[in-house]
Chains A and B, each alone.
Chain A
């Protein structure tokens, strides 16, 4: 019966090609546009580290000056507070991290010196964020405390400098200092770049990683967002380090609720203590944010995308309303045929099944076409966004493709509910009489 109904559905399509094609087109366009926008939301706003996102916490302090109205507390930490956090008596994995940019003088004289984007981090950074290694591994905790000049390269940087071979143990001339390479990362590009949402949430991952303390001790060229709410008391680098200037991201991994509570009360008492020194005078609601909360707080998903999602949802609604109207027209146009079938003994439920299958078929065709539109649309979005950030992660994966077609079938059947109900209420006698 099922295949017979599918055949009937295709026959019915051919009988009314214009009306049917209009419906398919309406479903396809609505679904296609909606899926493009939904995919953007799904990728850009997705959980970048699902296995740990509820254990990794970013710290936020009560920064700012109450005299400056409309001053939003900067999302990063000052050097002084980051150091205090590092000295806290806990064994939880934690890292202070910030960006820098330094010249690399490549070992091969064929490559001209260039500037690389770097990140200072503690050894826990790599294990906390499950950073994949191709060769070697993270430096040890003692390298952090001793300020050893060790470096981890990104896979791209290793390809560029050493043609992709295992470079662990070799030296690298970075910012006029000699570093020993201890590890090479595999491809690693979390979307969004949750561990540093302040410097472009879709930016490329850094190319070199060094122990974070070197940024201060060797005065590496810091880059990235810096936000001060009081001028430094002096003009040298030490004065900057002591100043109320936030430029460090700080993450801690708290495995369970107990750890969370313990850490939170530590933070609360730290803030109380700092208040006594006249610091931290702009209260915040919350000091520990897990990855998802932090992405929301920092608006990692651009407002533009949210607005587009609302509008694309409404566009889909218009397309479905359109389909409802056209289906109604089509089914009511078949009244005479339905009259004949009912007179020959078809009951209401088999008519309803037949028409549900017919709308399902329209939905499927619309969905496949819509998938085509969505793929094209995604390419269009890539062209529009190209030039600023790498976009290889933008695309429609299998899940999204299945969702697209599934959503189209559901939409088709949903749009058909009312027309089918109307059709099943037709009195066969009237339509047979007019034949």
Chain B
């Protein structure tokens, strides 16, 4: 191998090599951090909600005026929705998971101990909640129909049984298996006692980026403040056909209310993740542009340095160097330059990551992203240089040594 001559030649002509190394260094810094952010975002975008997402739609109904009877309307709406062809089940609920809008509360295993509070989303729904959302009940049982409370706004709430998620049970009782917590009593911030009646495997809160993303509590309660969501699970294949019919059917039942947000769960998910989606798309474009520009830069400088060294190449060829040796010379040269670039790049990558972590609440980089990025850039360098180097190695000794 011609390491010695390559190094000496590089040291005599530092600028070009230095520029390439710097470029590789900055490129590594950006792409590793960008890909890490992309990967982190995608993870939280694909986190399962626990719902049977493909078949669910929801609609918001808000009553107005003196004559609006919330209780009668809700009962009638639910009866009509459940009777529709192609509808598997329907329920009424105060908030939609993953929709960014809902309400949360702190819960404690001992009353009044606010410092122990575990945050969780509160869902208020009826005995059809589990079946409509398609949740998996892993312990205990569902609400019975006669347990469901009709809550008038402005009246006191009483102690009740609730269904919680596995994550919530584990957060309240970290030392016990979730399944064993059935029947235990915990407390809301206003000291209402809540007894765990059932546990579901998973149900996301409305805010996917919350640090309590799977802590949910379902109350057996229909809120009679006039504004409620209906969640509808359709039989497979019926969702799109049924979506407009849900709104038409409800509109026909009662005209002293406004219907809004008649949409599929998938649309809700898309809307919630617009910023994350935009961020990952922009970052992917940045990464591709950088790889492209850096690749072009390496090609451009390789062509240039090879043209400048035509005579040296010719001389080496005349002295008996084969195609492969010329090719190898430039590949090794690029490898040396790139290695310097990625080593400094690795240091800068970690530095930038620390900066982002300290200033913008990002999670620290996992270590394997750095070597992976280094390897990718080393390969990119070799690929960029192989074309010009190949042409150089094809040069006949005669043309190469002839004067220009």
Contacts and interface: CB of A to CB of B under 8 A. Distances in A.
Interface of A: 19, 22, 25-26, 29-30, 33, 65, 67-69, 102-103, 112-115, 175-176, 221, 230-232, 235-237, 302-304, 306-308, 310-312, 314-315, 317-319, 321-322, 324-326, 328-329, 332-333, 381, 384-385, 387-388, 418, 422, 434
Given A321-B23, A321-B26, A176 B64 contact: yes
B381 to A, nearest CB: 14
A333 B303 CA distance: 12
A418 to B, nearest CB: 8
B279 A326 contact: no
Given A30-B293, A319-B293, A321-B23, A114 B16 contact: no
25 contacts: A22-B300, A33-B285, A67-B115, A113-B64, A175-B64, A176-B66, A235-B155, A302-B275, A303-B360, A303-B361, A306-B360, A311-B283, A314-B30, A315-B289, A321-B26, A322-B297, A325-B23, A328-B19, A329-B16, A332-B304, A333-B304, A333-B307, A384-B281, A385-B275, A387-B270
A235 B301 contact: no
B46 interface: no
Contacts of B281: 384
B294 A385 contact: no
B300 A103 contact: no
A306 B271 CA distance: 22
A324 B64 contact: no
B224 to A, nearest CB: 13
Contacts of B258: 103, 112-115
B293 A318 contact: yes
Give the interface centre of A103, A237, A333 by most chain B CB atoms within 10 Å: A103
Interface of B: 15-16, 19-20, 22-23, 26-27, 29-30, 33-34, 37, 62, 64-66, 106, 114-115, 117, 154-157, 188-191, 227, 258, 260, 270-271, 274-275, 277-279, 281-283, 285-286, 289-290, 293-294, 296-297, 300-301, 303-305, 307-308, 352, 355-356, 359-362, 403
Given A68-B114, A235-B155, A328-B19, A384 B64 contact: no
Nearest to B106: A68
A385 B62 contact: no
A68 B115 CA distance: 5
Nearest to B15: A328
A282 to B, nearest CB: 13
Given A114-B258, A418-B15, 4 more contacts: A175-B64, A308-B283, A317-B26, A322-B296
Q: Is the interface of A mostly helix, strand, loop or mixed?
A: helix
A177 B300 CA distance: 73
Closest 5 CB pairs of A and B: A231-B190, A329-B304, A103-B64, A384-B278, A322-B297
Nearest to A68: B114
Nearest to A308: B282
Nearest to A385: B278
Contacts of A325: 16, 19-20, 23, 297, 300-301
A157 to B, nearest CB: 15
A329 to B, nearest CB: 4
A329 B115 contact: no
Given A115-B62, A385-B278, A326 B114 contact: no
Contacts of B301: 325-326, 329
B290 A318 contact: yes
A26 B114 CA distance: 57
Contacts of A312: 286
Contacts of B296: 22, 25-26, 322
A318 B155 CA distance: 64
Given A26-B293, A103-B64, A113-B64, A237 B154 contact: yes
A149 B117 CA distance: 43
Nearest to B156: A235
Nearest to B33: A311
Nearest to A233: B190
B62 A26 contact: no
B23 A318 contact: yes
A332 B303 CA distance: 13
Contacts of A311: 30, 33-34, 283, 286
A29 B356 contact: no
A314 B19 contact: no
A114 B279 CA distance: 34
B19 A321 contact: yes
B278 A307 contact: no
Contacts of A326: 297, 300-301, 304
A224 B141 CA distance: 35
A391 B16 CA distance: 45
Contacts of A434: 403
Given A115-B62, A318-B27, A328 B300 contact: no
A354 B190 CA distance: 78
A315 B274 contact: no
Contacts of A303: 360-361
A33 to B, nearest CB: 6
A308 B287 CA distance: 12
B37 A314 contact: no
B255 to A, nearest CB: 8
Nearest to B276: A304
A68 B19 contact: no
A318 B30 contact: yes
Given A315-B289, A318-B27, A381-B278, A235 B154 contact: yes
